[in-house]
Structure 1
Amino acid sequence: MALADHLRELRNRVVKSVLAIVVFTIVAAVYHKQLENFLLQPLPQCDKANAGQFHGRCAQVSNIGLTAGFNWMLKVALTAGVVAAVPVWLYQVWAFVAPGLHRHEKKYTVIFMVCGAPLFLAGVACAFLVMPTTVEVLISFTPDTTTPILPPEDYFDIATRMVLVFGLAFEFPLLLVMLNLVGIVSGKRLLGWWRGMVMGITVFAAFATPSADPISMLILAAPIWALYFAAVIIAIASDKRRARRNPDAQLDDEEASHLDLSVQAVGGVESVRASATPTAGAPVPAARHEQMDDIT
């Protein structure tokens, strides 16, 4: 395909993904009250009699500004639309890449779709699990003699950020497996990167979680560590299966082929005597006649 065709294909895939997100966002906007109440549950609110509190601390949720309610409704609805449209935009991403793959590599589309959406939703679920701990730790930093006044917009910013970051982070091991299946990186190389991967995942978790406590960081980092090593095991198993089918799969592309340099004896060569005859009227000396061969 020409560059213009690639850009046109990319535009079509983006438009389809955006349309799916818009449709789910509209549906989520209709039920935004239920979604907002669900997201506010981890907050230890002071205006609720049975609200859970962290060492007696609670937060006063207050709406500041006339348009604040509309703004956080849009954020909640848009985040819900992105999460609900995961199968659609993941398929569009893979459909844009698939035409550049070989025929035997396109079968991995099923694997990508079957595992991609559940992994993203697992990350979203992990974000909701860590949300109460994050909120409690952040509230604990306020002085004991004060009551935190929390605008819902700030809280929804943290919630949407965690949902998207956790969801995308859980897709990273799947990306490694797909790179191995198409032959870009080997399982042995992935295993050799384990120290850097563990450190990188830890640093990413430290920056991705809004709270500074190690519990929230470990809740995000530990599943990604486990998924990374699971991806390494799958990649190594795939390499062994590929090696059984192709004995030359483990050879380096720059490795020289094995050459047989043994010397074998050459049999005797039969001598060929000259057979050309001189033309009429042009006598040839006898010595020169003996040097002629058939081609001459």
Structure 2
Amino acid sequence: MADLVDRARAAVSERAELPGMTLLEHLEELRKRIIRAAIYLVLGFFVAYGLHERIYGYMEKPIIFALQRHHLPTQLNYHNPIDGFNLYLKISFMAGCILASPFVLYEVWKFISPGLYQHEKRYVTPFMISTVGLFLAGAYFGYHWVFPGSLDFLFTFNKDFNPLIEINEYTDLFLTVILGLGITFELPILVMFLALFGIVNAKFLLKNIRYAVLIIFIIAAIITPTPDVLTMCVFATPMLVLYLISIGVAYMVHPARRKRKAGAA
């Protein structure tokens, strides 16, 4: 922990040469970026709400296919007349956040860009593409492989019982798996920022890989919808691969290496 603090202090002192902003200027800039991000989220919500039935149709496909495979009734249930309305609001908000995420991320980048060197600001395009791409890759992986496989396992495990599937509970399970995998696929982006500011480096990540493996399996156990070890390993495997990729990312963007590269040039 002390090592991380020292690195963070070194990163701050290293950037002291950059053009500074007063506290009020930082707060004003933050307020402006937050307002713009909020506008994007509201617009994303209304666009998603206009497509809420189609969005839920995609969400419903995995459970319908799983029920059909096990020769079970495909009609989902609700307990309260307002459940359907609340459900559409929830999925519209989630989908709206995803639609607005590139624009929100751009505002985040614009807020932190004054603290970057001029040559570092060219990372904005790779940052945007990789952030959105990794999230979509995680969501796609969950939607097409992990979630259907988990449902099939659960229905096989519970074959002696009659399912009464409630729409809100199913939606919560769907969002936990899909969003959970989408967010965990962002690990290289998180490491990139930590390494960019000199807080971690490839050597530190490689040295502590055994702790990373433990944390990854704990996270996989939390977001895995089934109790079997196999499904947990399916969740954990891509996260382990992403951690190894993150080590390479940390090596590429760490300030010490970029300084050596700039000096050689």
Give the TM-score, by structure 2 length: 0.80
Deviation per CA, 1:27-62, whole angstroms, max 9, x where unpaired? 22122111112111111479x8xx222xx5666511
Question: 1:140 & 1:93 partners in 2: Cα distance?
Answer: 45
- After TM superposition, give the deviation of residue 210 of structure 1 in Å: 2.8
User: Contact (CA 8 Å) 2:188, 2:249: kept in 1 or not?
Assistant: no
The answer to whether 1:138 aligns with 2:158 is no
Question: 1:233 & 1:220 partners in 2: Cα distance?
Answer: 21
Provide the residue aligned with 1:88 in structure 2: 103
Query: What letter matches 1:104 in structure 2?
Result: H
* Residue 232 of structure 2, aligned match among 212, 217, 230: 217
> CA 1:212–1:16 in structure 2 vs 1: closer, same or farther (change >3 Å)?
farther
Classify the secondary structure of the residue corresponding to 1:77. helix
- Greater C-alpha radius of gyration: 1
Equivalences, count: 241
Provide the residue aligned with 1:175 in structure 2: 190
Query: What letter matches 2:136 in structure 1?
Result: L
Query: What letter matches 2:125 in structure 1?
Result: V
User: Contact (CA 8 Å) 1:60, 1:147: kept in 2 or not?
Assistant: no
The answer to whether 1:32 aligns with 2:52 is yes
Query: What letter matches 1:2 in structure 2?
Result: T
The answer to whether 1:150 aligns with 2:165 is yes
Relative contact order (C-alpha < 8 Å, sep 6+): which is higher? 2
Classify the secondary structure of the residue corresponding to 2:69. coil
Moved more, 88-97 or 63-72: 88-97
- Share of identical aligned residues, percent? 33
The answer to whether 1:52 aligns with 2:69 is yes
- After TM superposition, give the deviation of residue 200 of structure 1 in Å: 1.0
Provide the residue aligned with 1:287 in structure 2: none
Query: What letter matches 2:53 in structure 1?
Result: K
Classify the secondary structure of the residue corresponding to 2:79. coil
> CA 1:205–1:182 in structure 2 vs 1: closer, same or farther (change >3 Å)?
same
Provide the residue aligned with 1:64 in structure 2: 79
Across the aligned residues of Structure 1 and Structure 2, the Cα RMSD in angstroms comes to 2.5
- After TM superposition, give the deviation of residue 190 of structure 1 in Å: 1.9
- After TM superposition, give the deviation of residue 117 of structure 1 in Å: 1.0
User: Contact (CA 8 Å) 1:58, 1:139: kept in 2 or not?
Assistant: no
Uncovered stretches (5+) of structure 2, i.e. residues with no partner: 1-20
Write 1 or 2 for the structure with the bigger share of helix. 2
